[in-house]
């Protein structure tokens, strides 16, 4: 069945590796594994930092590695290595087998060889020559940081760029044999403003996947104006008074509320742990009827988009919540095996040293019918969160996230800027309180850290109104 003549003794990204991969998978099945998966990557990354009017850091990096995962019933063993030789990969398989304590092999699974190669990388091999050079990046970053110098209150100006080019080969004992190239570019601007005892900061990040020309098209002037205005608006802001109040969350990165408050709890890893309150709520109402939420990996150019996930499955568009009713969980291979929820093309990992897990991709609340003004006008005393910082969710569903730029709402109008606000709550309690969704859906890029490392995602939403939430302040 399998070629006994192994043509290569090492993974070669420029060549066909089918025979070698088949031999390694067959070796694992022979030893008693139910399932064998090999994930191999080759990376070529670089980052550039501009501070004030100078380039202060240029950091290229490259590397190769493999992650081998073996399943036996519902257990899995994962071994990662930098050794891509046949010997090194087989040693990793043996190690995973040994870890799982597989000694008997009465019910041997059948491996019929790898399917026809699905090569998603063919049209992408040229990307490495199309992305901007370090010189070009440096020039544009310096222009960008110069654009931030709009008055003498701006004390610190930074522009940063990073590019990750990841070539992957994924092969597994169900026949999956896939290659792909992923390109992610991100650029950020940051300022710190000060005047006497007053200090503020402003930041914005932009990102794309699979679009080598995107950095060249980035409107740095618009970005610089936005960051500058944000820092100036917040410079003399008072600290927000703490308490329970209605809030309007802006579109784009405002979507971090759904990501933290609900999205993580819809990943099958949370069902496996028993840490999601939504485990048995499929087809039940878990949110206000105005909420429809989606997770997908297919929007062209979005930071969380993929041609194929890290387990070789094409990503699907998953409607998680439809009109407030829970419809689907975000699932990977282990999630399907352990919870029964079908895979959604969401098996993701930071790199070869992590086993894939169910992770969000582009996650957003769908647009509604209201204008931003409708939402604000509906509040007599509350908070408008124009720009959000990071956030997190705890093991009992408590979430929190920081408000970078906020304004008080008084009698349906935006009034004074306020700083120091943190929104805290619990997913189960806040989702039914999202009572109005605007018609201005937009996405924003971000990084999400979880069980399988840091992955690129987008969050998004239109402007939304939360009827009541705890605002931490002073």
Partner 1 sequence: MNSREITTQISEAAGSLNLSKWDYGASFSNDYSVQVDKGEAKQLKASQKQILTLRVWNQSNLVGITTTSDISESGIKKALKQANIASNFGNKNESTEFSSLAKDPIKVIEIKKRSPVGIKKLLTLLREAEVKLIESHESIKSVPYNGLSESFFERVYANSDGAFRSYTKSQAALYLYARAEEKNKKPRSSGSVKLGYGVEDLDIESCIKDASNKTISHLNYSSIKTDKYLICFSPESFITIINAFSSMFNARSILDGVSLSNKNSIGEKLSTEALNIYDDGLHEKNISSSPFDGEGTPTKRLCLINKGRIKNFIHSESTARIFKTIPTGHAGLGSKVSVSPDWIVVEKSKENFDLKTSLDHSNYEGEFVYIEELNAIHAGVRASQGSFSLPFDGWLYKNGKKISIESATVAGDIKYLLKNIVNIEPSQEVTTSGISPHIWVDELSITGDE
Q: Which is nearer to partner 1, 96 or 408 (CB)?
A: 96
Q: Residues binding partner 1: what is the number (CB under 8 A)? A: 74
Does the footprint of partner 1 cover residue 55 (CB under 8 A)? yes
Rounded distance between C-alpha atoms, residue 11 and residue 20, angstroms: 8
Q: Which is nearer to partner 1, 17 or 201 (CB)?
A: 201
CB 445 within 8 A of CB 458: yes
Q: Which is nearer to partner 1, 48 or 379 (CB)?
A: 48
Kindly give, in sequence order, each residue whose CB lies less than 8 Å from that of residue 15, ignoring residues fewer than 6 positions away.
Answer: 8
Shortest Å, Cβ 62 to partner 1:
5
Of 48, 168, 306, 375, which lies in the binding site for partner 1, with binding defined by CB under 8 A?
A: 48
Rounded distance between C-alpha atoms, residue 385 and residue 401, angstroms: 11
Rounded distance between C-alpha atoms, residue 312 and residue 176, angstroms: 6
Site string for partner 1, 369-398 (x = CB under 8 A): --------------------xxxx-xxxxx
Query: Could you tell me which stretch among 22-30, 120-128, 197-205, 304-312 binds partner 1 (CB under 8 A)?
Result: 197-205
Shortest Å, Cβ 26 to partner 1:
21
* Residues between 119 and 138 that touch partner 1 (CB under 8 A): 134-135, 138
Shortest Å, Cβ 4 to partner 1:
28
Q: CA nearest 439: which of 464, 416, 402?
A: 464
Of 13, 30, 75, 166, which lies in the binding site for partner 1, with binding defined by CB under 8 A?
A: 75
Of 35, 78, 161, 206, which lies in the binding site for partner 1, with binding defined by CB under 8 A?
A: 78
Of 317, 400, 413, 414, which lies in the binding site for partner 1, with binding defined by CB under 8 A?
A: 400
Site string for partner 1, 218-257 (x = CB under 8 A): ---------------------x--xxx-------------
Rounded distance between C-alpha atoms, residue 278 and residue 258, angstroms: 14
Shortest Å, Cβ 152 to partner 1:
13
CB 186 within 8 A of CB 205: yes
Does the footprint of partner 1 cover residue 443 (CB under 8 A)? no
Q: CA nearest 200: which of 150, 151, 159, 155?
A: 155
Of 192, 319, 325, 414, which lies in the binding site for partner 1, with binding defined by CB under 8 A?
A: 192
Query: Could you tell me which stretch among 59-67, 210-218, 342-350, 405-413 binds partner 1 (CB under 8 A)?
Result: 59-67
* Residues between 80 and 99 that touch partner 1 (CB under 8 A): 80-83, 95-96, 98-99
Rounded distance between C-alpha atoms, residue 119 and residue 379, angstroms: 53
Shortest Å, Cβ 388 to partner 1:
9
Tell me whether strands 325-326 and 422-426 are parallel, antiparallel or unpaired. unpaired
Q: CA nearest 445: which of 368, 363, 337?
A: 363
Q: Which is nearer to partner 1, 163 or 419 (CB)?
A: 419
Shortest Å, Cβ 190 to partner 1:
9
Gyration radius (Cα) of the chain, Å: 24
Of 21, 31, 49, 250, which lies in the binding site for partner 1, with binding defined by CB under 8 A?
A: 49
* Residues between 274 and 313 that touch partner 1 (CB under 8 A): 274-275
* Residues between 336 and 355 that touch partner 1 (CB under 8 A): 353, 355
Does the footprint of partner 1 cover residue 402 (CB under 8 A)? yes
């Amino acid at each position: 069945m399998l070629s006994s003549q192994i043509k290569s003794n090492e993974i070669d990204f420029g060549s066909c590796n089918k025979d070698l991969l088949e031999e390694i998978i067959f070796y694992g099945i022979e030893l008693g594994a139910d399932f064998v998966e090999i994930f191999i990557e080759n990376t070529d990354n670089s980052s550039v930092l501009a501070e004030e009017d100078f380039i202060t850091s240029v950091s290229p990096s490259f590397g190769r590695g493999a992650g081998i995962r073996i399943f036996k019933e519902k257990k899995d063993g994962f071994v990662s290595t930098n050794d891509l030789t046949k010997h090194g990969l087989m040693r990793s398989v043996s190690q995973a087998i040994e870890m799982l304590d597989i000694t008997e092999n009465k019910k041997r699974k059948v491996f019929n060889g790898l399917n026809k190669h699905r090569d998603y990388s063919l049209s992408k091999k040229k990307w490495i020559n199309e992305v901007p050079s370090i010189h070009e990046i440096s020039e544009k970053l310096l222009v960008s940081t110069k654009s931030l110098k709009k008055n003498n209150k701006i004390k610190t100006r930074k522009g940063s760029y990073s590019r990750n080019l990841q070539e992957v080969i994924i092969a597994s004992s169900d026949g999956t044999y896939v290659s792909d190239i992923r390109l992610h570019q991100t650029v950020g601007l940051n300022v710190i403003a000060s005047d006497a005892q007053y200090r503020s900061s402003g930041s914005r990040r932009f990102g794309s996947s699979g679009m080598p020309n995107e950095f060249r098209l980035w409107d740095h002037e618009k970005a610089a104006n936005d960051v500058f205005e944000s820092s100036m608006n917040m410079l003399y802001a008072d600290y927000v008074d703490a308490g329970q109040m209605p809030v309007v969350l802006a579109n784009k990165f405002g979507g971090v509320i759904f990501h933290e408050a609900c999205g993580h709890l819809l990943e099958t890893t949370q069902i496996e742990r028993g840490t999601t309150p939504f485990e048995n709520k499929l087809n039940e109402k878990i949110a206000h009827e105005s909420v429809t939420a989606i997770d997908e990996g297919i929007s062209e150019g979005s930071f969380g988009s993929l041609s194929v996930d890290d387990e070789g499955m094409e990503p699907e568009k998953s409607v998680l919540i439809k009109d407030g009713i829970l419809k689907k969980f975000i699932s990977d291979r282990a999630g399907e095996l352990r919870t029964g929820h079908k895979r959604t093309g969401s098996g993701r990992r930071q790199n070869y040293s992590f086993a894939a897990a169910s992770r969000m991709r582009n996650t957003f609340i769908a647009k509604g019918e209201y204008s931003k003004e409708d939402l604000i006008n509906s509040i007599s005393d509350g908070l408008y969160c124009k720009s959000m910082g990071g956030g997190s969710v705890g093991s009992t569903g408590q979430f929190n996230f920081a408000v970078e730029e906020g304004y008080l709402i008084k009698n349906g109008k935006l009034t004074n800027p306020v700083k120091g606000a943190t929104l805290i709550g619990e997913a189960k309690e806040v989702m039914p309180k999202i009572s109005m969704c605007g018609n201005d859906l937009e996405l924003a890029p971000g990084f999400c850290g979880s069980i399988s490392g840091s992955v690129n995602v987008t969050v998004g939403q239109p402007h939304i109104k939360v009827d009541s939430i705890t605002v931490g302040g002073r």
